[in-house]
Chains A and B, each alone.
Chain A
Amino acid sequence: MSTKKILSVDDSRMVQTIVGKTFEPYDVTVSFANNGEECLTAAAREMPDLIILDVTMRVMDGFEALTRLKADAALKGIPVIMLTAEAGMDNVMKIAKLGVRDYVVKPFTKEGLMERVQRVITVKEKVATEETAPRSIEERLNVLVLDENTTAHESIKAVMRDYSWNAVCCSQPKEAAEMALKTPPDICFVSLSLPNRMAQNFLHAIRSDERLQRAPVLGLTRPEDVEAQNEARSAGFAHFAMRPVSGESLVDAIVQHFKMDHTPRHLSVENGVHSLNFPAQLTPSTLSTLRREFRDALRNATASSGKLLLDLTALSHAETGLIELVVSFTEECAARKVQTRAIASDTFVEKARCFAETADLPFYKTREEALASCKEALAA
């Protein structure tokens, strides 16, 4: 049985989201239209197996779209399920007269909608073609980004490094395909605004290689680019990440896609003040986690108290990587006008003073001392 095509027509993004989620587990390609006029164009182009059509819409409502569908010899055979917020008997009678196969009253559940759809067409559950099993955030990942806009490439690489992930950013499909064959990516992001169907061609190219068949490929798009998303879906893109693209936005998309546990390990908040707590044992992986959680802590501190404590009390040794980290955190906080203070034991301070970078950095013995210093600075 081939993949069924469903066209969902609604002017509400909320309903579109719910409809999209309803069919995620099924072997179905869902495309979207925002009103009756777009419905007629999309129906003629895609010849879907089913249309789910809202009644009340701007530009052209569902009744008019349905009337025109039924008057078109090529389209009249496409079954239609109407979605309506109006369950009154008069409305139901009106819908029935127009020859729809069924109707669903809003609010509806995903299960309720699915049950109605299964009455009209048979859809089967998706056989896993992409790697979507939960993965650990500590796991090393190869990330491939194909985006003609190179502005964010360097920042993407830098942010991914914080996660011990390796990002390869390309602006040309040929180069991206070569890189993918050389180092098979665990996940790819592909710009849907590349000209001449390059995104679709790239997808086909990497899917034709056995090693890359299961790598998730996410289309980079804007929420309003419904047309581009529909075309991409028809070509086999199953998931999308929204622009504007940044290192952080792609990390969020990866975390969400692989259902990674993103719970902070070294962050705490006491009386509204955020602390980044360095553990006694520092490994390269812990340093990466600290870098990542520092970004979250800085974001939170900027939006709230304006203070961030670096708690180094568990440490007794100082080493170059750690010192560089402490200095870079302090500088980033200063750039964002966040008051930061480092708390450390005498033993650690003695060792830190041996490094030029931290020879003059003030350390505090307790949290209270550090907060008092922040208060003084803010008052000044």
Chain B
Amino acid sequence: MEVFQKVLGWKADAKNGTSGIIMPFHTNGVTGAVSLAGRLNGIVYASFTEALAERAAQSVLGDPSPVDHATVNDVVGELTNMISGNIKAKMANVGYACRLSIPTVMRGQAIAIDAGNTPISVGSTFTFDNHPEIANIHFFARLETDSI
């Protein structure tokens, strides 16, 4: 929520928190992904509806004109990076340090994702300033005992 507030100036509300997500799960719209490797092994997905992703890019650029896909992807990737950085910091402070990959971004509807052997699986839906578009954030991980 801090990421959306600080970067976009949006007030975010988290809804429908879930855990124990059954694989494969599906993402829609513009989805950013960042891998975590170390004592915490996993992946963070942040998916935005196309309209919301474009609105985020317009908000960053301060220009309501249509935004090209490359710029929208860049914004989604960077937001995912910041969200992952937040998770990483919190986990490192309780003894599960990890490293982050460079974000990747994919587009499409109903993309099936299987995060493999990850006992930790949590997700949440975010709405912003009562707009109909949503973002979903999912975090899949397992804790390692003999890694760095």
- Contact: A17 with B85, CB < 8 Å? no
- Contact: A86 with B100, CB < 8 Å? yes
- Contact: B89 with A14, CB < 8 Å? no
Q: B61, B82, B88, B102: which contacts A17 (Cβ < 8 A)?
A: B61
CA distance A15 to B63 in the complex (A): 15
Q: A89, A109, A223, A252: which contacts B92 (Cβ < 8 A)?
A: A89
- Contact: B102 with A56, CB < 8 Å? yes
Given contacts A14-B74, A56-B102, A107-B6, contact A84 B63 (CB under 8 A): no
CA distance A58 to B93 in the complex (A): 27
- Contact: A56 with B81, CB < 8 Å? yes
Neighbouring A residues of B92 by C-beta, 8 Å: 88-91
**What sequence of 0s and 1s flags, for each residue 190-215 of chain A, a beta carbon within 8 Å of any chain B beta carbon?**
00000000000000000000000000
- Contact: A106 with B62, CB < 8 Å? no
Given contacts A90-B92, A107-B3, A107-B6, contact A85 B82 (CB under 8 A): yes
Least CB separation from A110: chain B residue: B6
Q: A11, A18, A57: which contacts B7 (Cβ < 8 A)?
A: A18
Given contacts A56-B100, A107-B2, A109-B6, contact A88 B88 (CB under 8 A): yes
CA distance A91 to B100 in the complex (A): 11
Neighbouring B residues of A105 by C-beta, 8 Å: 85, 89
Neighbouring A residues of B74 by C-beta, 8 Å: 12-14
CA distance A86 to B82 in the complex (A): 8
Is B65 part of the contact surface with A, judged by Cβ < 8 Å? yes
CA distance A109 to B92 in the complex (A): 24
Distance of B97 from chain A, by nearest CB (Å) = 5
- Contact: A89 with B85, CB < 8 Å? no
Distance of A295 from chain B, by nearest CB (Å) = 15
Chain A-chain B contacts (Cβ-Cβ < 8 Å), number = 71
Neighbouring A residues of B77 by C-beta, 8 Å: 12
CA distance A86 to B44 in the complex (A): 14
- Contact: A87 with B86, CB < 8 Å? yes
Given contacts A86-B89, A90-B92, A107-B7, contact A15 B78 (CB under 8 A): yes
Is A258 part of the contact surface with B, judged by Cβ < 8 Å? no
Question: Max chain A CB contacts within 10 Å: which of B2, B60, B89?
Answer: B89
Q: A11, A15, A18, A84: which contacts B85 (Cβ < 8 A)?
A: A84
Distance of B94 from chain A, by nearest CB (Å) = 10
Neighbouring B residues of A21 by C-beta, 8 Å: 62
CA distance A234 to B65 in the complex (A): 28
**What sequence of 0s and 1s flags, for each residue 60-100 of chain B, a beta carbon within 8 Å of any chain A beta carbon?**
11110100000100110111011011101101110001001
Chain B interfacial positions (CB closer than 8 Å to A): 2-3, 6-7, 57, 60-63, 65, 71, 74-75, 77-79, 81-82, 84-86, 88-89, 91-93, 97, 100, 102
* 25 A-B pairs whose Cβ atoms sit less than 8 Å apart in the complex: A11-B102, A12-B78, A13-B71, A14-B57, A14-B74, A14-B79, A17-B60, A17-B61, A56-B100, A56-B102, A57-B102, A85-B81, A85-B85, A85-B100, A86-B88, A86-B89, A87-B88, A88-B91, A88-B97, A89-B92, A89-B93, A91-B89, A91-B92, A106-B81, A252-B65
Q: Given A58-B102, A85-B81, A108-B6, 11 more contacts at CB 8 Å?
A: A14-B75, A14-B78, A17-B61, A84-B85, A87-B86, A88-B91, A88-B93, A88-B97, A90-B92, A107-B2, A107-B82
Chain A interfacial positions (CB closer than 8 Å to B): 11-15, 17-18, 21, 56-58, 84-91, 105-109, 223, 252, 256
